[in-house]
Every structure is written in C-alpha cells, then in structure tokens.
Amino acid sequence: MSDITSLLALQSDDLIIHEIETKLDALAPRIAELDARRKRLADSVERQQGLVSAEEKKQAFLRDKIAEHRQLIERNQAQFDAVTNIRQATAAAAQMEQAKKIVAGEESDLLALNRRLEEMRGALKAAKDDLTALEAEQATARGEVAEQRAALEGELATAAAKRAETAKAVPTALRTRYDRLRNKKRVHVVVALSGTACGACDTSIPMQRRHAMLSSGAIEPCEVCGVMMYYQA
C-alpha cells in the first residue's frame, strides 16, 4: 500500500469520526434547551418559596405580638378588678382600652396577611405543579437524547479503534505531519491537486513541484493553506 493510499484511508476514518462527533455535539443544544426550560420553572418555584417563607415569618411574629398584647389585656383586667378607687380604675381601664385597640389593628393586619399568604401558597403550588408536569414531559425527550448519545458513543469507540489500526500503516513522520494539521481543526488534510492548483485553496503550484508529485508520488504541503497535496492520476 502506498503512503498516499494509507494516508487517505486514515483520513477516511477521521472523516467518519468527525461526522459522529458532529452528531454528538448537536445533542448538546437540545439538552441545554431542556435544562433552560426546567431552570426557569425551578427558579420560579424557588422565588415563590422564598416569598411564602418570608410571609410565614411575618405571620408568626404578628401572632406572637397579638398573644403578648392579649396577655397585657388580661393583666390590665386583673388590675382593674382589683382596684378600690376611681383613679386607679380609670387608669387601668385606659390601659386596657389602648391594648384592645392595638390588638384589633394587629388582628386586622393578620387577616390581610393570611389572605395574601393563601394566594402566595396557591401560586407556589401552581409553580410546583408546572415544574412536575415539565419534568414528566421532558423525561421522554431526555431518554431519547440519552439513547442517541449512547449509540453515537458506541459508534465513536468502534470508529476510533478502526482508526488506530489504519494509522499503523502510515509512516510515523507522515502521520505526525497529518495529525498536527488535524489538531488545528482542519477536516480535510490530504487533498488532491485540482489541475495545476491546490485542491483546497486553489493556489497555483509551480510546475517543478507538480512534476515531482507526479513522478515520485510525493506528498507536498501547500505553502498557502498548509494541506498535504498529492497528484491524483
């Protein structure tokens, strides 16, 4: 097998690998889109949960204040019941009336907070339901992507093993030049002459070099684009 033939066989294997890798890369945006949709709903759930937690803390604080002020009313009532003169009774009644007004205002605030909290809990439940529905909807799509990825990775492993065997037939120095070019993300490294020019960039090749490639089967680099050129009979 000539160097050109073995090198072209190696490039053929690499093109197959490149195609498989391209298909694998194409799966990434699909997963990213699924993840982005889920993240939006998950973030909504987290925000709603934070709002509910903050309101629940306000609710607990307000309940404690109401309980404290009710205890104050009970103490004022006990003082009122125990007084024996009008001045003390008047003072105790005033304190008790003030405490009752405070409790009435706090109870009104608590009622409004309870209604607001109920609405927020409803929004939180709706957000959680939406997230659960999306996850169920995405389960099939994610499974399909996983199956495709597994299949492609199996194909890639087989292609890579074949490529390793093919590479053994290419002389080390030639394979090193070829691999260096492929590592620069070039897909087609070995290119046939197109008439009198490079088949990759259409740069004209001097007659002497073309004659050398024709007579000896030499593989020459293109001085412009760097591909490995050969003469195709």
Compute CA 152 distance to the chain's CA centroid, rounded to the nearest angstrom.
21
pLDDT at position 217 is: 83
Instruction: Return d(Cα 12, Cα 6) in angstroms, integer.
Output: 10
pLDDT at position 185 is: 67
pLDDT at position 70 is: 87
For the chain, list residues with pLDDT below 70.
1, 185
pLDDT tens-digit map of 50-86: 999 999 999 999 999 999 888 888 887 887 777 777 8
Per DSSP, the three-state class of 209 is helix
Query: Where along the chain do its domains lie?
Result: 3-166
pLDDT at position 218 is: 86
Instruction: Return d(Cα 98, Cα 174) in angstroms, integer.
Output: 98
Instruction: Return d(Cα 194, Cα 191) in angstroms, integer.
Output: 9
One-letter amino acid identity for 82?
A
pLDDT at position 166 is: 96
Q: Which pairing describes strands 190-192 and 228-230: parallel, antiparallel, or unpaired?
A: parallel
pLDDT at position 91 is: 79
CATH of domain 3-166: 1.10.287.1490
pLDDT at position 61 is: 94
pLDDT at position 76 is: 77
